[in-house]
Chain A
């Protein structure tokens, strides 16, 4: 299992490097610390949403409504802040609650009433879009009144100070080392083979190097963006959820063979509704970030984001039939999509050409995946 997944990720990683090489030659400033910082924020929004999407794709479902949801939830929070002068945290919590409620509702209709997820969430796409426009009265509502920052606007404008970035790096590295040590001790205690110390060290060391490089680049500009920290937390959470909990196992089992899952005593409906509820929370988070990133809530916020999220998952090796996909793949897929958009914007590519390029990359990536797995 591991070998096939890594092979596929490998081909996507090569694709990513080629895309980066292309843009670094085609533009002057793709690899500048300022642009990389910008790219990391764009990545954070796309990838966070895609990680949520992964949770419903794994059991073989889908959600087309997340893009409209991003707009709606961001809009609700913005209107509460700007028009009703709510505290930003309270506004965001309200948005979060609304999102979790709506997604629970959709999950329940899909499972209990047995209406296909495609249809219910397609309905959601339209309904949420309409609600969104009503909420903001089809106007442009700024996230902040005047220049004063608030908790919502900070999600994409706050950067960790240089030292805080290094401290965060140190904490994450310490956790990595601790996790590795614990894993080794436990394996030994249960009488399993323990990998050579050299390998363990190398893995942690390479991870540390990569993170150090990223931190240094980010610090050259303004520091590590808060949205990247949010993405890190979401990615780590989804990773734990999918790999190390019963819930995660059940997602894979339902996607792999729903009938076998039922007969194994898995509460399929409950698991799927929970997956939608978590996705709802992630939609809210993405909504705050996306709205904050553009500075205002306007009617176009969230447009086509559902397709970006699905594309990122699929490029990252997630199966739309369910049962296959992982966090690392989704991150790579999201980075490919975000890099493409960012690079083409730097090149001042016409918007029409951007759509065509993204569509072709999606098609080629999936074809390549099918081709590679067939060849074996």
Chain B
């Protein structure tokens, strides 16, 4: 029997990063095939290659669908080949009805060219019945729960005669009952001969649903197992199974006194009131690196954003910085109190991309250069130059537009902006995401310099080797709660991963 899909030696490079390294795997028709791997192992890149987002020619290797090589030039191409994708982020229009969403872009029309509403709604009703979904075709998407929205998304994909369905972390936002409904639907799809690729961090689900499991690590396909013949612990071992390379510069840490402490912190989402952080306590000393591990969506970013005064509503808990309470504060207050955040998304939260390097570097520190009304631009440029050179930013000069820089150099500008505020505690959220190895090493050296100067560093990272290599202690968050705490010297990647998955 022909393979539904065959991927051979797929290699995808980004500047300075090898995202996929000769990945091979195949799909039997009608099977549920799970892809497992840490954040950054290459799962999402693989999905993007299979769905035509990365077009044929931007990668090496081949993709065969039903035995015929697929040279996809876009998402439409993939759709005509019968490949559909469900992303973690839903792609529905919340102001439109279920039917309108399902037929968005392929609305049935009458002979006169107007939309044939009757046909649209009757077709939708038929589709929903086919999958035994109790949904009103005329319901507004925004009025449905996330779980039902996810199901609509799946029906939408199936309405396009999808033979291969790629599900990228479909349960990340779902409640347990919603997860059960979703898994049932996937099982019924299997009976109809639809092939599914299931990506999830939640190994329980993976084992509940999949026939085979392929493990990805550092862009390589490590192994494929029959689900019945392997175990959770074996998969975890394969996911992390690598030596911590000598990437992390050695350092001696000699922590000083406690400068920052958090007690019984509980934070709610301002808009929907869902808990982001629940009853979390920790403290950090001068010269110490405290690592935060956990899965995506575990609340790590929300934690640092809240501590910085940019997110969430605190319902309980004390936060003390240098012994004084930090509450109802704005980022501006935090900066003045000696705290600075380097956010995980430098393009969205870090840089004014259309402005030059110097503008961005000093943006948070203009107070230092302002006497009276005016900014002393020469003193500012001088300070900018100093950081620009000491961080070895690779750019022609300070007047260079920051949007034109590589990821690593943009990250250096964001770090420079943070350093210029002279913080005593610095919150680094995924500081090495999407930057090349050389720049990573420089970031690590910088972290060590900071701790030598007696600054406290909170490091949020999804890369376990980095977390283990750079931190003194590691706290693992799981769904906003403490999942465990480990001293970095003795912790293992498996311990951390297990703690991260405890509540799921």
Q: How far is the CA of A192 from the CA of B384 in the complex (A)?
A: 13
Given contacts A1-B356, A263-B343, A263-B349, contact A192 B367 (CB under 8 A): no
Interface residues of A in 201-256 (CB under 8 A from B): 240, 244-246, 249, 252-253, 256
> Given B348, B366, B399, which contacts A249 in the complex, CB threshold below 8 Å?
B366
**Complex contacts, A191 vs chain B, CB 8 Å:** 382
Whether A252 pairs with B374 at a CB distance below 8 angstroms is no
Q: Does B417 contact A (CB under 8 A)?
A: yes
A323, B363: Cβ atoms closer than 8 Å: no
Interface membership of B359, Cβ < 8 A: yes
**Do B352 and A259 have beta carbons less than 8 Å apart?**
no
A256: contacting residue among B308, B343, B355, B374, CB under 8 A = B355
Report yes or no: B354 in contact with A260, Cβ–Cβ below 8 A: no
Segment of B192-200, B330-338, B457-465 engaged in the interface with chain A: B330-338
CA distance A233 to B313 in the complex (A): 46
Docked complex: B302-351 residues within 8 A CB-CB of A: 308, 310, 330-332, 334-336, 341, 343, 348-351
- Among A1, A246, A260, A262, the residue within 8 A (CB) of B351 is A260
In the complex, whether B370 has a CB less than 8 A from a CB of chain A is yes
Chain A hits for B373, CB < 8 A = 240, 245
Interface size class of A (residues with CB under 8 A): 20 to 34
In the complex, which of the residues B331, B353, B366, B401 contacts A263, with contact meaning CB atoms closer than 8 Å? B331
Q: Is A83 in the interface zone, CB < 8 Å from B?
A: no
Interface contact B352-A261, CB-CB below 8 Å: yes
Check B352–A192 contact: CB distance below 8 A.
Answer: no
Which residues of chain A come closer than 8 Å to B53, judged between CB atoms? none
B204 on interface, CB distance cutoff 8 Å = no
Contact with B along A258-273 (1 / 0, CB 8 A): 0111111111000000
A93 to B241, CA, bound (A): 75
Asked whether any CB of chain A lies closer than 8 Å to the CB of B375, the reply is yes
Contact B378 A264 (CB under 8 A): no
In this assembly, does A129 line the interface, its C-beta being within 8 Å of a C-beta of chain B? no
Is B265 in the interface zone, CB < 8 Å from A?
A: no
The winner among A191, A252, A263, A266 for most chain B CB atoms within 10 A is A263
**CA–CA, A262 and B348, complex, Å:** 11
A238 to chain B, nearest CB (A): 14
- Which residues of chain A are within 8 angstroms of B349 by Cβ–Cβ distance? 259-260, 263
- Which chain B residue shows the least CB distance to A254? B352
Question: Does B379 sit at the interface, judged by CB under 8 A?
Answer: yes
Given contacts A252-B359, A266-B363, contact A1 B399 (CB under 8 A): yes
A190 part of interface (Cβ distance < 8 Å):
yes
The one of B335, B356, B381 that contacts A265, using a Cβ cutoff of 8 Å: B335
Contacts of B343 in A (CB 8 A): 263
What string of 1s and 0s marks CB contacts (under 8 Å) between B362-386 and chain A? 0110110010011101110110000
A200 contacts the other chain (Cβ, under 8 Å)? no
- Residue among A252, A257, A262 with most chain B CB within 10 A: A257
Residues of A within 8 A of B401 (CB): 1
Contact pick for B352, options A2, A189, A256, CB 8 Å: A256
Residue ranges of B at the interface with A (Cβ–Cβ < 8 Å) = 308, 310, 330-332, 334-336, 341, 343, 348-356, 359, 363-364, 366-367, 370, 373-375, 377-379, 381-382, 399, 401, 417, 421
| Top 3 closest pairs, chain A to chain B, by CB | A256-B352, A265-B332, A265-B335
Q: A192-B378, A257-B352, A261-B363 are in contact. List 11 more A-B contacts (CB 8 A).
A: A1-B355, A190-B378, A246-B366, A249-B375, A257-B353, A260-B348, A260-B351, A262-B310, A263-B310, A263-B350, A267-B332
